[in-house]
Copies of this chain bind each other. A is one copy, B any other.
């Protein structure tokens, strides 16, 4: 039986340790700005508070996703109130879902127990396939017909965003926003360079060119 590793940014962890009887099935760890204190194996679940003493919850979220050790953790964002805009931001930052706070012990355990039933299946669905292209969120790797595509972090994010919106023209503005680049404002022409680098990487892996340029508008991930 896998041990579920639960990370929390709040102090709820200690209280939970007392609460849970079967210690073998869960570990709890405090989640600070620099990530988890110890490395773990098995499924991970992070509860990230919207407001944190040292770091914004959104930023925490992004760091978890960027860090290879925690990239495939299930991230639940804890919102204080039910603001649709905040929910969108949370999910954009990489959160898998959210709860409207305050976080209670039972809310945590309900979700975690549900995770266990989803458990193994979940990792399989964290990868998706579009034609010859496979994107593995957990491993942060993309393949073209089993052939790995060597991508830099930004290129991976770009490919992912494009692939999540197939057959839809994305403007340069969409793409910049989709990759969460706000500060400082990014020059739209920079997107062209991103696309160029991504295309070259796919080509280097023997792939075709699923990225179609739509003149004067943007780019599309062509699925067909």
Contact = CB atoms under 8 A, between A and B. Distances in A.
A12 interface: no
Interface stretch (A27-35, A44-52, A123-131, A191-199): A123-131
A14 interface: no
Interface stretch (A164-172, A181-189, A200-208): A164-172
Nearest to A215: B153
A121 B104 contact: yes
Given A96-B167, A126-B110, A217-B140, A87 B224 contact: yes
A224 B99 CA distance: 14
Interface string A54-69: 0000000000000000
A48 to B, nearest CB: 15
A21 B111 contact: yes
B167 A217 contact: no
Give how many copies assemble into the complex.
Answer: 2
B84 A2 contact: yes
Given A114-B164, A168-B138, A153 B91 contact: no
A40 interface: no
Contacts of A168: 120, 138-139
B120 A174 contact: yes
A19 B82 CA distance: 22
A104 B136 CA distance: 18
Interface of A: 1-2, 19, 21, 82, 84, 87-88, 90-92, 95-97, 99-100, 104-107, 110-111, 113-122, 125-126, 128-131, 136, 138-140, 152-153, 161, 164-170, 174, 178, 214-217, 220, 223-224
Given A82-B129, A91-B118, 14 more contacts: A1-B84, A87-B223, A88-B117, A91-B116, A91-B224, A97-B113, A106-B122, A107-B125, A118-B161, A118-B178, A120-B170, A140-B169, A140-B217, A153-B215
